[in-house]
Structure 1
Amino acid sequence: MDAVDKSPFNNSNSLNPAPGQRIKSTLTLSFLLILSMFVFLGIFTNKALSTLGQLSQTIYEHPLVVSNASLLAALNITKMHRDMKDMVLATTPDELASATQSVNQAEQQVYTHLDTIRANILGEKGLALEKQTRELFEKWRPIREDVFQLLQTGNKQGAISITTSEGADHVALLEEKMLELSTYARHKADGFIAQAENAQAEFEKITLMLTLLGIFLSIFISIYAIRSVRRAETSLLDRNNKLQTALDEIEILQGILPICSFCKKVRNDDGYYEQIDAYFRKHANVGFSHTVCPSCMQENYPEQYQKILARNSTKIT
């Protein structure tokens, strides 16, 4: 029968799985590195946007609010001063009462804006400036009350004199303080804007560096992964070629061999009989060394057989 190969090399489990595992590990590590890079870039971008958002919110909630409140307070102070002039120029009690009510309403608006400034202004200097402005505004009230009392007693000329002199000077001081508050708030806003611009420039620089680093890292990982896969494929192909070569060279005989009962020749695949040693050389890639067994020697070479027996007997004795 034809030889059947049952070499242990034919067992697929005997193959070393290292190339396949190496490919899998290389690709997994490459994708994890790229994923980690994008996750880090996303976290950094989110942090940068959050920082810029906080700066924008701070600018809106503090300096801009203070600046707007300062302007509104200054506007109401100007309105109060105009109403004070209307009071001294009033010709009827109704006109005087209407102007007085308008002054009181504007005064409440000024205090509301000062409260807003105190709640939102930043820094000890800002708080001190708000306190000075509030105290200066409170000192204006006695001046207005003097004007009102003079008007009640009919001394319109004295009321006009106080309004156009002491009152006007005090209003000028208040407007100057309000301008200081607004300027202070704008300077704070400018500082936050500069900080935001610096942060944005820094974030843009870092983002550009991370992007370039990510591109180079992706290229490096891709090249490394491709080379690793190719090396693993080459190694696997080489191992398969060696295995196939070994399988082609190795033949193991099994089954029933047709041997002549008399001449002991073996029938080959073509139906011809040949010596058993030639058959095995052809099918098993082995060689034979010829010798003579004791029985055949006694039968075919009796003299030589007797000499060997005598020599062995002498050695034993």
Structure 2
Amino acid sequence: MHGVKRTRQTADDIAAKKRREQSKIEEYLALTRDVLSRKKASDWSEDAFNLTTKLLQVNPEFYTVWNYRRNILLRGLFPQRTPEDVNNLLSEDLAMTMTALKAHPKVYWIWNHRRWCLENIPNGPGSQEDGDVAGWKKKCWDRELFVVEKMLDADPRNFHAWNYRRYVLAGMPVPRPETSELAYTKRKIEANFSNFSAWHQRSKVLTSLWSSDKLDKAKSREVEFELIRNAMYTDPDDQSVWMYHRWLIGSGDDQMLLEREISVIQELLDEQPDSKWCMESIVHYKLILIRNHSRSVDVGKLTGDCSTLLSQLQRLDPSRRRRYEEIAKNIDVGPR
């Protein structure tokens, strides 16, 4: 870095560093051999369990060792302990994996082990306010949702954390109202419109609410169009916004809706004449009009509009020129 005096390493310093690195490698290889030999011998002891902890702290992607660890718990440690002790062991493993995730937030095997821990929490004593829901299990799953929210505060676009959040919400002993997830995703989206994972989560929640008739689809979709419109005008170059808009439009059976949204996007394009996503979206929706509503629209005009926009896109976005040429070549004018 500028302003920082660099210290020249001597030959002895370099040799000492190499020896330390070689020593670490040898320690790791010896530990690996020990753990794998114990696994082969079906060693389900607490000593073996502690060695897996040590090895996984060095290499959290060692999925064979994660599997061995679970077998030690199931075959060696759980049978000798009370349900309360099992709960404590699993709580300790959740704490251990939390530490691992802080350093390795995208290692699948760590997330997978957390899932296994949650699924093996014993029922435990229920509490009066929980009714028939076991206290340990509810407390653990509630805490897990809090943990994943903290992780998403640190990295709002970590798709592993979003996938895990969906898993936790689906498995909670006392289901969380889906409408509260709408509020959560809205907060995340308004904090950063380019959070594709939050948009995706929102689409999942709405699909569930609409399919179960817990939310009026027509009314709530209009709320979504208003939300997405604000996002479009805030950042017209963000792909995630346009992908969500296409999801809202759906198959394009509603001609009036298509024409309305084309007009909205055209207004934005008039303000942002070099907006690639505005142009692409108008072409996309006009082609849907041609395909689905050819008997009630001016096909010739729509085709001409699309050809003009595709020509502009070729100049504006030359890296995708061939794609735009291919779309222009294959415009389906439909029945006349």
For the aligned pair, the TM-score class normalised by the smaller chain equals under 0.3
* TM-score normalised by length of structure 2: 0.16
Structure with greater helix share of residues: 1
Q: Which of structures 1 and 2 has the bigger CA Rg?
A: 1
Q: Which has the higher contact order (CA 8 A, sep 6+)?
A: 1
* TM-score normalised by length of structure 1: 0.17
